[in-house]
Amino acid sequence: MKEADRLCIEGADTLSPEQFHQLKENRHKLWNSFGALIKQTDAVIDRLDVATALLIEFSTKSSQFQSWIFDKSREIDQLRVDIGPDRGRVDATKQAFKSLDEEIVSRREELSTISQLAIKIEVEICNYIDELRKKERDSVPVPSSSHHLSRGQHQISETVTRIQASYLISLGDN
C-alpha cells in the first residue's frame, strides 16, 4: 500500500491524466482487496480461536477423566485383592465397592460433557472449512487443510470412544 501511495504521489507530475487516473483507480482497488483480505482473515482466525479454546477444554477434561478412571480401576483392583476369607472384611469390601460404584455413576455427566465438547469441536471445524471454502469462491487462495482437519476430527472421536469404553468397563468391574 505504501508503494502504491508513493507511485501516486510521484506519478502526479510524470504521468498523463489518464494514466494517473488509472493508477488512482488501481490503488483504490488494491486498497479494497487488502481490506477484504484482512476481514476474511479475521473471520478465519476467529473460527480458529473458538476451535482452539474448545480443543484445549476437551484435552483438559478428557485427560482428567481418563486419569480419574485409571485411579478408580486401580481402586477396584485393590479391593479385589483385599477380599479375603474373613467375613467382616468381605462386608467392608462390599461397602467399599458400593461406594465406588456410586462415585463412578455420579461422574456420568462428565462423560456427557466431554462428548458434547467433541461435537462442538466438530461443528467448529466444519465451520472453519466452510469459511475457507467461501474464501476460495471469493478467489482468495487458501491452503488445503481439510485432510488434516478430518484426521483431527477422527482422533477426537477415537478419544471419546476410548473414554466411553473405559467408563463402561469401570461400571462393569463393580
Task: Write out pLDDT tens, residues 66-110.
Answer: 999 999 989 888 888 877 666 677 778 888 889 988 999 999 999
Does residue 32 have a pLDDT over 80?
yes
**The residue to which cell 469401570 is assigned:** 170
- Rounded to two decimals, the pTM is 0.69
Displacement of CA 164 from its chain's centroid (Å): 19
Supply the DSSP symbol for 15: S
Fold that domain 52-173 belongs to in CATH: Methane Monooxygenase Hydroxylase; Chain G, domain 1 (1.20.58)
Decide: 130 and 71 in contact? Cβ < 8 Å.
no
Does residue 141 have a pLDDT over 60?
no
User: What's the confidence (pLDDT) of residue 65?
Assistant: 95
Does residue 147 have a pLDDT over 80?
no
CA dihedral 142, 146, 149, 150 (to 10 degrees): 170
Q: Between 137 and 156, where is the model more confident?
A: 156
